[in-house]
Amino acid sequence: MNKNTSYEMKRSARTRTMRLSVHPDGSVVLTLPTRASVAAGEAFVRSKEKWVLKQLKRVEKYKGRTMLRSTSAEYKKHKEAAREFIHARLLYWNTFYNFIYKDVRIKNTKSRWGSCSRKGNLNFNYKLALIPERLADYIIVHELCHLKEMNHGPKFWKQVERAMPDYKERRRELKNEYVSIS
């Protein structure tokens, strides 16, 4: 591996295979089963060099942003609170539009904050409950407006602006401050 790239080596009695991870702070950790040799671990790291460098570039790209991880434990912990929050905010924001929507689903998506289906179903990432309300509101309004316009054309943005004149500022803040990763 690149001589400038260091990594920490850990042993674990609970793991059966070698595992390499790159953390949001840029640290690289190799976890070895108890019986694996150090030489085998070093060879494993060398074989994954391209992957590690790609992950480190990704970490660098998102430096300074808040990273929100998608784990099933986090999802279970926050799902119901997210459901209550999103339903309440939908009721509030839909007073500007009176759109009809069908199901509202709270999901654990890797990279999307929300989506709207042609059938009128709204899907939201549970992480909306973990970001500032003003940014979650932008996502909720954005998806509501897709009920009327299923694109990002000028008519769509006029719909968004109708209820949220500062949507551009909120959108920029969301993009610059938060990253949803798995």
pLDDT, tens only, 82-108:
999 999 999 999 999 999 999 999 999
The answer to whether 163 touches 96, Cβ cutoff 8 Å, is: yes
Transcribe 3-64 into DSSP letters: TT---EEEEESS-SS-EEEE-TTS-EEEEEETT--HHHHHHHHHHTHHHHHHHHHHHHHTTT
pLDDT at residue 182 greater than cutoff 50 = no
Q: What are φ and ψ of residue 40, in 5° steps?
A: -65, -40
pLDDT band at 71 (very low <50, low <70, confident <90, very high): confident
101: left (phi over 0), alpha (psi -120 to 50) or beta: beta
The answer to whether 148 touches 159, Cβ cutoff 8 Å, is: yes
pLDDT at residue 114 greater than cutoff 80 = yes
pLDDT band at 25 (very low <50, low <70, confident <90, very high): confident
- The amino acid that residue 115 corresponds to is S
When the candidates are 3.20.20.140, 3.30.2010.10, 3.60.20.10, 3.40.50.150, the CATH number that belongs to 68-181 is 3.30.2010.10
Task: Give the pLDDT mean for 114-140.
Answer: 95
**What stretch(es) of the chain map to CATH 3.30.2010.10?**
68-181
Rounded percentage of the chain residues whose pLDDT exceeds 90: 69
76 vs 164: which has the higher pLDDT: 164
Q: Could you tell me the pTM of the whole model?
A: 0.67
Q: What share of the chain is helix, strand, coil (3-state, %, to 5)?
A: 50, 20, 35
> What was the pLDDT predicted at 66?
61
**CA separation for the pair 132, 29 (Å, rounded):** 32
The answer to whether 32 touches 39, Cβ cutoff 8 Å, is: no
pLDDT at residue 65 greater than cutoff 80 = no
